[in-house]
């Protein structure tokens, strides 16, 4: 029988972890695979690890890793994939927003239909603040326009992959990880299952608007170099405008002879050009800082305990 490793990243999920385990066992009963459940504690400050201990005692298929601090969900997923020994690997959230019942369809997609990966995509954003949905949509539009890697709108991290695809992802050692892009970058045949958004069973979301905004900037920087061209394009544009203006004022003064009252205009132009220059330097800074972080080659996570 084939083995399926299920990776579950958890951060402060003492309530959700046991609920997840129960639901998982119930809803995957009778699946024709051997399971391995790998919980990854991402430096929780509550009793998440104790909850894992309970589960490890009850069921020998349960394993866990605990990080020395909070490294983020991306690192937790990476650590889980490195620890997984299965022929197939699934990634799921612990809050049951990723219905375990879908694993059956996912497995079918891989074993019977010949896909390398079956991923999930939520088609509604029910229960989410409208402003967040709006920005999320804008983000997907923008990144797909400026990046060669397709980033699917509404894609969740919940997916089932073959060993071959997981090994390909593990080859990508970058520190700033944007998995939605990495999964797509490695290629392979992916089937998308669509489902309606489900609300969390317990605890609360770890993603504030600000965290999501920073994450989306990481995504853009990691998968597109288009922003770097903004400086050159704007620079060129302003040169052309300036040249035309010079011609205009030169001839205007020659013909009509009136001097231009320039103080307010000068202030506006100086402020605008200054703003644009700082903005462009900021973009350079973003790429430079990522390059800096990558060249340090720090590990993606640090494990404190492992069972």
Contacts to ligand UDP by CB under 6 A: 9-11, 13, 42, 70, 72-73, 76, 93-95, 97, 205-207
Work out how close the CB of 229 gets to Mg ion at its nearest, in angstroms, rounded to a whole number.
Answer: 36
CA-to-CA distance for 9 and 92, rounded, in angstroms?
7
Furthest C-alpha separation in the chain:
93
Work out how close the CB of 262 gets to ligand UDP at its nearest, in angstroms, rounded to a whole number.
Answer: 52
| Residue number, 81 or 280, with CB nearest to ligand UDP | 81
Work out how close the CB of 74 gets to Mg ion at its nearest, in angstroms, rounded to a whole number.
Answer: 15
Residue 160: contacted member of Mg ion, ligand UDP, none (CB under 5 to 8 Å, by partner type): none
Contact in structure between 190 and 118 (CB atoms under 8 Å): yes
| Residue number, 36 or 93, with CB nearest to Mg ion | 93
Residue 165: contacted member of Mg ion, ligand UDP, none (CB under 5 to 8 Å, by partner type): none
Residue 9: contacted member of Mg ion, ligand UDP, none (CB under 5 to 8 Å, by partner type): ligand UDP
Residues 137-196 that bind Mg ion (CB under 5 A): none
Work out how close the CB of 271 gets to ligand UDP at its nearest, in angstroms, rounded to a whole number.
Answer: 39
According to the binding rule CB under 5 A, does residue 120 interact with Mg ion? Answer: no
CA-to-CA distance for 47 and 156, rounded, in angstroms?
26
Residue 64: contacted member of Mg ion, ligand UDP, none (CB under 5 to 8 Å, by partner type): none
CA-to-CA distance for 94 and 51, rounded, in angstroms?
12
Query: Do β-strands 88-91 and 155-162 pair in parallel, antiparallel, or remain unpaired?
Result: antiparallel
According to the binding rule CB under 5 A, does residue 97 interact with Mg ion? Answer: yes
Angle at 102 between CA 37 and CA 219, to 5 degrees: 80
Work out how close the CB of 123 gets to ligand UDP at its nearest, in angstroms, rounded to a whole number.
Answer: 16
According to the binding rule CB under 5 A, does residue 95 interact with Mg ion? Answer: yes
Residue 73: contacted member of ligand UDP, Mg ion, none (CB under 5 to 8 Å, by partner type): ligand UDP
| Residue number, 116 or 157, with CB nearest to ligand UDP | 157
Binding site for Mg ion (CB under 5 A): 93, 95, 97
């Amino acid at each position: 029988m084939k083995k399926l490793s299920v990776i579950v990243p958890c951060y402060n999920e003492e309530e959700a972890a046991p609920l997840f385990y129960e639901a998982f066992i119930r809803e995957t009963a009778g699946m024709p695979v051997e399971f391995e459940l790998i919980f990854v504690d991402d430096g929780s400050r509550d009793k998440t690890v104790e909850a894992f201990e309970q589960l490890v005692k009850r069921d020998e298929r349960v394993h866990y890793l605990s990080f020395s601090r909070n490294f983020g969900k991306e690192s937790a997923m990476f650590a889980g994939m490195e620890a997984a020994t299965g022929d197939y690997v699934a990634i799921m959230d612990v809050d049951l927003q990723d219905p375990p019942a879908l694993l059956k369809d996912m497995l079918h997609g891989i074993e019977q239909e010949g896909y390398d990966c079956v991923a999930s995509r939520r088609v509604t954003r029910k229960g989410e603040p409208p402003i967040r949905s709006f920005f999320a949509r804008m983000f997907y539009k923008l990144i797909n326009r400026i990046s060669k890697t397709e980033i699917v709108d509404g894609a969740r991290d919940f997916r089932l992959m073959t060993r071959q695809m997981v090994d390909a992802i593990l080859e990508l050692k970058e520190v700033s990880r944007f998995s939605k892009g990495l999964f797509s970058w490695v290629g392979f045949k992916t089937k998308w299952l669509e489902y309606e958004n489900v609300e969390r069973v317990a605890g609360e979301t770890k993603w504030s608007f600000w965290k999501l905004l920073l994450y989306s900037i990481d995504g853009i920087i990691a998968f597109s170099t288009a922003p770097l061209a903004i400086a050159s394009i704007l620079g060129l544009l302003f040169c052309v405008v300036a040249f035309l203006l010079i011609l205009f004022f030169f001839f205007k003064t020659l013909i009509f002879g009136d001097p231009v009252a320039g103080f307010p205009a000068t202030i506006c132009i100086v402020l605008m050009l200054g703003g644009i220059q700082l903005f462009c330097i900021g973009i350079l800074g973003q790429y430079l800082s990522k390059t800096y972080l990558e060249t340090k080659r720090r590990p993606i996570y640090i494990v404190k305990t492992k069972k």
